[in-house]
Amino acid sequence: PIKRLTVPAIKAMKGTVPIVCLTAYTAPVARIVDEVTDLILVGDSVGMVLYGTDTTIGVSVEMMCAHGQAVVRASQRSCVVVDMPFGSYQKSPQQAFKTAVRILKATGAAAVKLEGGEEMADTVNFLTHRGVPVCGHVGLMPQSVQVMGGFKVTGRDRETAEKVCRDATAIAEAGAFAIVLEGVIEPVAAEITAQIAIPTIGIGASSACDGQVLVSDDIFGLFEGFKPKFVKRYAHIAEEMREAARQYAEEVRRREFPDQNHVFTPKT
């Protein structure tokens, strides 16, 4: 049996080798990415990627539990982290603890992730002192899109640069084992990475981070809805799927499929 990377093992990777992280929401994708990842994130981006919503606001704890279960079952070596969805943890440390325990028990994941800076530090401290490993997420926080007025890059002016530094420091000092930096300009991501004792995992935050994360459907070219600047498509799977579906439809309409190789015949 292959040993799974633990939360302390991920934390200890800071300053050694880059941490490789991808999202997964389903068993088949988890099985594939697990061969190369250190960390698999069951992100609340599941709402936008699999359910076709415009934001992550509508994602439920039930959805995170279902997808988290599938990913833990189908992976062996990566540390699995599950997002806590909007509204399930912001009210109080107690609410966050209850949700985190529900997610960890239902899925068998190693840790939860939550969005927020200084205002969430008490919650991170509460959880980490009660057996719940937490990954932070600062900078562009998709669950706050309705307050921010869109998906915006952070750190371009002094005010937002100082704010994201304070946020990352607060979450690190509160006991998070790692922190996602999303949509942060390179010099600010570099400064945060140098300043804090835990690994930074960047998405649109430059190679200065201790690790990288992307949505797997984005790198596969499976999600075609939109492509942020920071996404690199390493394949064009949606095009292959479209062509496969087209060929199947054509063969069915011509009665070429099923042929003799794909049909049951009587015993002779």
Residues flagged as binding site? 44-45, 83, 113, 115
Residue 180 as a binder of ligand KIV (CB under 6 A): the answer is: yes
Span between the terminal Cα atoms of the chain, in Å: 46
The reply to whether 182 belongs to the active site is yes
**Residue 180 binding partner per list ligand KIV, Na ion, none, with a CB distance cut-off of 5 to 8 Å that depends on partner kind:** ligand KIV
Taking each continuous run of H as one helix and of E as one strand, the counts in the chain are 11, 8
Q: Please identify, using beta-carbon distances, which residue of 43 and 136 lies nearer to Na ion.
A: 43
Query: Which helix (H) or strand (E) is 148 found in, with range?
Result: helix 145-148
Location of structure tokens 């994130």: 41
Look at residues 164, 163, 102 and name the one whose alpha carbon lies nearest to residue 127: 102
Task: Tell whether residue 83 is a contact of Na ion (CB under 5 A).
Answer: yes
User: Which residue is catalytic, options 62, 162, 173, 182?
Assistant: 182
Task: Please state the φ and ψ torsions of residue 200, each to the nearest 5 degrees.
Answer: -95, 135
Pick from 138, 130, 38: nearest CA to 93: 130
What is the C-alpha radius of gyration for the chain, rounded to an integer number of angstroms?
A: 20
Q: Which stretch binds ligand KIV (CB under 6 A): 39-47, 68-76, 158-166, 239-247?
A: 39-47
The residue (of 44 and 217) whose beta carbon lies closer to Na ion is: 44
Interaction of residue 88 with ligand KIV, rule CB under 6 A? no
Token duo for residue 146: 């309705």
By the rule CB under 6 A, 23 interacts with ligand KIV: yes
**Binding site as annotated, residues for 3-methyl-2-oxobutanoate:** 44-45, 83, 113
Q: Which of 5, 29, 30, 45 binds ligand KIV (CB under 6 A)?
A: 45
CB of 111 to Na ion, least distance (A): 13
Q: Is 140 left (phi over 0), alpha (psi -120 to 50) or beta?
A: beta
Catalytic center residues: 182
Residues forming the site for ligand KIV (CB under 6 A): 23, 41, 43-45, 83, 137, 180, 182, 203, 213, 215
